[in-house]
């Protein structure tokens, strides 16, 4: 019987870190980690490939493009059942979401994982997370970009890191995760895409000049001018409640109108982890009338990455930007919310 083959791509992070003089530093390669899992090597054929070895706080948007290219190469192979990426947890959701948007319509799992405790430290969660990620990549009837962590399977574009030390680091913004890992894999989301022979689509065109600005009481509208002066071509404004901004003292309405008139889109998302930017209040409706794009129920970080990708397609108008941004490609926005806004 032919054993299933999985490619593990190393990016560094806590899972690969070793304590050195100035703190934990990524040191182990993905092949080093696999060497500590002899039982897995007896079940699956494992290949390893290194893209980088770094703390995930150092990863930049150009690194997302490089990683996406490598994943596209590997997931396109007929002899591969799935891909695993080992990555630091701090920006794992950014990288996973960026890859999800750049590498679409693949017929196999792309699985990101990491750990809260270094692999070689007693009590590490790295060993189990990596084994679970390999199980999903090899055996799961799944064809999505996911995060496997602490016995759960998360859709990457709908996930946030909410805890720094707890082993249960991540949470889904959807009502439930895609699946749970126990002796077998238990599925919670019947809409999850299943394996197929479809060939992946790769589109890495991105304009990374998009800023994520978190609104706070007393924020001076001129701050948005400084963002534009820094060369940003799009802004995600993470606003209050259902997408509300101040319209009296320190009103943002004039700046929103002025900046969007320059064909620089401003997308309004909600600081609330759960919810959508519904136009329920005057403070939200007037922002939309001034030219802001509704962020629906996007995770703010994913909205930033999606707008980078949309601007990379060089849309010819603000209307086209809005159309592409609000279109659901890989589950980044709840389809029911898309239908509601349309």
Please say if 89 is a catalytic residue.
Answer: yes
In this structure, what token pair is assigned to residue 53?
A: 């070895």
Please say if 91 is a catalytic residue.
Answer: no
Q: How far apart, in whole angstroms, are the C-alpha atoms of residue 222 and residue 249?
A: 13
Q: How far apart, in whole angstroms, are the C-alpha atoms of residue 88 and residue 54?
A: 8
Instruction: Give every CB contact of residue 227 below 8 A, 6+ residues apart in sequence.
Output: 211, 213, 235
Per annotation, catalytic residue among 161, 208, 232, 269? 161
Q: How far apart, in whole angstroms, are the C-alpha atoms of residue 237 and residue 243?
A: 9
Per annotation, catalytic residue among 69, 174, 281, 329? 281
Q: How far apart, in whole angstroms, are the C-alpha atoms of residue 247 and residue 264?
A: 20
Q: How far apart, in whole angstroms, are the C-alpha atoms of residue 112 and residue 154?
A: 10
Identify the helix (H) or strand (E) that includes residue 112.
strand 110-113
Q: How far apart, in whole angstroms, are the C-alpha atoms of residue 277 and residue 271?
A: 10
Please say if 159 is a catalytic residue.
Answer: no
Q: How far apart, in whole angstroms, are the C-alpha atoms of residue 166 and residue 219?
A: 33
Per annotation, catalytic residue among 89, 93, 208, 269? 89
Pick from 93, 113, 117: which is nearest to 165 by CA? 117
| Per-residue exposure over 137-174, b if at least 16 CB sit within 10 Å of its own CB, e if not | bbbbebbbbbbbbbbbbbbbbbbbbeeeeebebbbbbb
Please say if 283 is a catalytic residue.
Answer: no
Per annotation, catalytic residue among 63, 86, 90, 94? 90
DSSP 134-182: HHHHHH----SEEEEETTEEEEGGGEEE--SSSS--EEESSSS-SEEES
Q: Cα–Cα–Cα angle for 191, 196, 201, nearest 5°?
A: 90
Please say if 174 is a catalytic residue.
Answer: no
| Torsional sign, CA 331, 334, 339, 342 | negative
Point out the residues that are catalytic: 14, 89-90, 161, 281
């Amino acid at each position: 019987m032919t054993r299933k083959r999985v490619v593990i791509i190393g990016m560094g992070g806590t899972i690969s870190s070793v304590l050195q003089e100035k703190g934990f530093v990524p040191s182990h390669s993905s092949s080093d980690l696999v060497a500590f899992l002899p039982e897995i090597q007896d079940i699956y054929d494992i290949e390893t490939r290194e893209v980088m070895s770094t703390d995930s706080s150092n990863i930049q948007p150009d690194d997302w493009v490089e990683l996406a290219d490598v994943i596209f190469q590997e997931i396109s192979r007929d002899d591969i059942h799935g891909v695993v990426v080992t990555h630091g947890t701090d920006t794992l959701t950014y990288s996973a979401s960026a890859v999800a948007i750049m590498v679409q319509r693949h017929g196999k799992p792309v699985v990101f994982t990491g750990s809260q405790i270094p692999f070689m430290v007693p009590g590490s969660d790295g060993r189990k997370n990596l084994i679970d990620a390999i199980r999903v990549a090899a055996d799961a009837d799944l064809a999505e970009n996911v995060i496997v962590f602490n016995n759960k399977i998360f859709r990457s574009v709908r996930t946030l890191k909410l805890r720094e030390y707890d082993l249960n680091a991540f949470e889904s913004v959807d009502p439930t995760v895609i699946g749970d890992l126990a002796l077998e894999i238990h599925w919670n989301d019947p809409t999850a895409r299943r394996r197929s022979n479809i060939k992946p689509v790769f589109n890495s065109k991105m304009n990374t000049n998009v800023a994520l600005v978190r609104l706070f009481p007393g924020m001076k509208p001129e701050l948005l001018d400084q963002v534009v002066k820094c060369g940003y071509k799009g802004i995600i404004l993470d606003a209050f409640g259902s997408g509300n901004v101040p319209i009296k003292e320190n009103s943002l309405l004039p700046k929103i109108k002025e900046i969007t008139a320059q064909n620089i889109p401003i997308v309004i998302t909600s600081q609330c982890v759960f919810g959508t930017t519904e136009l329920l209040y005057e403070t939200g409706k007037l922002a939309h009338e001034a030219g802001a794009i509704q962020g629906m129920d996007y995770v703010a970080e994913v909205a930033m990455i999606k707008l980078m990708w949309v601007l990379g397609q060089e849309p010819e108008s603000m209307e086209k930007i809005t159309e592409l941004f609000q279109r659901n490609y890989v589950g980044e926005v709840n389809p029911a919310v898309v239908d509601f806004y349309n």
